[in-house]
């Protein structure tokens, strides 16, 4: 179980993805400092202020992903710049009718959550389209440190390739296992790694399968 937990990484202490972007503080400090003259209705100001203050935390709460929030730097840049662009357009307007400004903020927020979810899931699916153990560099949304996602791709073209992929997985798990427990896994036959169980096998499934022996 420890192996499985490690391979699936941890989602604890989530803090938000956009806030890992280098321009986030500058941009959002500016947005917070300039909410005052954005609405004719004074009640809109505190509402808008707290939407901006809680942006990162609310993002993590809304992601609802079963996989860790790990995003590639390239996709983070894309999402962040799309959000700043929408915000900048909104801030170019002078003063809005009651309710309009916080409502637009909520729309941008929701769109941002969707973009981040897609970015995280797309990278993970691309990763699984390889044959064998594959990894790619990411930024962890929970603490903004460089991280990486490891996945097991089942997209092999021949049974020979598949065998090599499984061997690679066993080596990977053995190395991990030795580093952490100083013992090695024995490898009997793995029915769970044979067709037809391969169609949607993930690295997590594969490691769970191996741990059952
Ligand atoms: C941050 O903003 C500056 C100035 O607008 C821009 O030149 C730079 O490319 C931005 N950085 C990223 C990582 O998007
Ligand atoms: C950052 O969070 C990731 C999980 O997303 C974790 O694996 C990593 O150890 C954390 N790094 C630090 C320095 O806390
Ligand atoms: C693959 O998908 C099928 C049906 O969608 C499901 O019954 C099966 O448990 C899945 N296998 C794995 C290893 O997730």
146: in domain: no
Residue 186 belongs to a domain: no
Cα–Cα distance measured from residue 36 to residue 90, given in angstroms and rounded to the nearest whole number: 14
Residue 40 lies in a domain: yes
Cβ-based neighbour number of residue 112 at 10 Å: 21
Q: How confident is the model at residue 101 (pLDDT cuts 50, 70, 90)?
A: very high
For residue 49, what are the domain limits? Answer: 9-128
Q: How many domains does the chain have?
A: 1
Q: Which of 8, 82, 91, 1 is nearest to 52 (CA)?
A: 91
Measured distance CA(85)–CA(91) in Å, rounded: 10
Predicted confidence (pLDDT) per residue in 152-183, tens digit: 887 888 888 888 888 888 787 777 666 665 44
CB–CB of 164/99 below 8 Å? no
Examine the pLDDT at 111 and tell me if it is beyond 90. yes
Confirm whether 145 is domain-assigned. no
Measure Cα distances from 37 to 27, 41, 86, 109 in Å: 17, 10, 18, 20
Which of ligand 3's atoms lies nearest the C-alpha of 199?
1
pLDDT tens digits, one per residue of 189-203: 556 666 555 556 666
Q: Is residue 41 part of a domain?
A: yes
Kindly state whether residue 182 falls inside one of the protein's structural domains: no
Question: Given the CA of residue 11, which atom of ligand 2 is nearest to it?
Answer: 5
23 lines ligand 1 (CB under 6 A): yes
Asked if residue 97 is part of any domain, the answer here is yes
User: Would you say residue 195 lies in a domain?
Assistant: no
């Amino acid at each position: 179980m420890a192996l499985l937990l490690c391979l699936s990484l941890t989602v604890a202490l989530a803090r938000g993805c956009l806030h890992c972007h280098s321009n986030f503080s500058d941009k959002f400090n500016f947005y917070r400092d300039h909410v005052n003259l954005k609405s004719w209705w004074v009640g809109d100001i505190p509402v808008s202020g707290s939407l901006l203050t809680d942006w990162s935390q609310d993002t993590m709460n809304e992601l609802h992903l079963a996989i860790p929030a790990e995003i590639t730097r390239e996709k983070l840049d894309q999402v962040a710049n799309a959000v700043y662009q929408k915000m900048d357009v909104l801030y170019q307007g002078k003063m809005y009718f009651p309710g309009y400004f916080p409502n637009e903020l909520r729309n941008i927020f929701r769109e941002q959550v969707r973009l981040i979810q897609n970015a995280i899931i797309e990278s993970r699916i691309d990763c699984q389209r390889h044959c064998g153990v594959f990894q790619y560099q990411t930024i962890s949304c929970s603490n903004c440190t460089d991280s990486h996602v490891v996945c097991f791709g089942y997209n092999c073209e021949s049974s020979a390739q598949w065998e090599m992929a499984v061997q690679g997985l066993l080596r990977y798990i053995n190395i991990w296992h030795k580093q952490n427990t100083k013992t090695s896994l024995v490898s009997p036959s793995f029915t769970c790694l044979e067709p037809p169980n391969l169609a949607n096998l993930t690295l997590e499934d594969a490691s769970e399968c191996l741990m059952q022996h």
